């Protein structure tokens, strides 16, 4: 794993975190229905974790000599709260997979600190996915 490839991969991850921030912000503003207060609280709470991940990635990319991306992945359109949660779950599962792969790549590159931080982010994303899956369970 060379530095340029690692920076490109970390920028893909940063694009995913930027997507997550926008997704949680816009979904929390638009969510409707009887569970709105709980879903707004859930979504707005997640924004802080995603922002911390994005900041870490941007800082690391810059430290490696790269230019952090400012372009997020596209946010899936969703009108119904259930569809919003499904899109969130998909994004969180993807982030967990991406960070698992990135931790291996960071280890291969020789940056143990980055690998450990990415493994912590796998834990965060797994927790987000599990919580979202619980919200979706038995949703009619």
Cβ–Cβ contacts within 10 Å for residue 51, how many? 15
Q: Domain with 66 in it: what CATH number?
A: 1.20.1260.10
Distances (CA, A) of 138 to 32, 33, 82, 129, 133: 18, 16, 11, 16, 10
Over residues 59-96, the pLDDT tens digits come to 999 999 999 999 999 999 999 999 999 999 999 999 99
Over residues 2-46, the pLDDT tens digits come to 999 999 999 999 999 999 999 999 999 999 999 999 999 999 999
- Rounded Cα distance between 75 and 109, Å, is 31
Expressed as residue numbers, the domain containing 11 is 3-136
Domain count, the chain: 1
pTM of the model: 0.95
């Amino acid at each position: 794993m060379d530095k340029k490839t690692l920076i490109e991969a970390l920028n893909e991850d940063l694009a995913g975190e930027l997507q997550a921030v926008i997704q949680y912000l816009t979904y929390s503003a638009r969510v409707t229905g009887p569970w709105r207060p709980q879903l707004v609280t859930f979504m707005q709470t997640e924004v802080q974790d995603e922002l911390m991940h994005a900041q870490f990635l941007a800082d690391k990319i810059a430290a490696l000599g790269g230019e952090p991306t400012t372009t997020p992945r596209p946010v899936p359109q969703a009108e119904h709260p259930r569809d919003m949660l499904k899109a969130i779950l998909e994004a969180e599962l993807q982030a967990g997979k991406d960070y698992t792969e990135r931790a291996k790549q960071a280890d291969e590159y020789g940056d143990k600190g980055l690998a450990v931080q990415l493994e912590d982010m796998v834990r965060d994303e797994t927790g987000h996915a599990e919580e979202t899956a619980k919200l979706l369970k038995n949703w009619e």
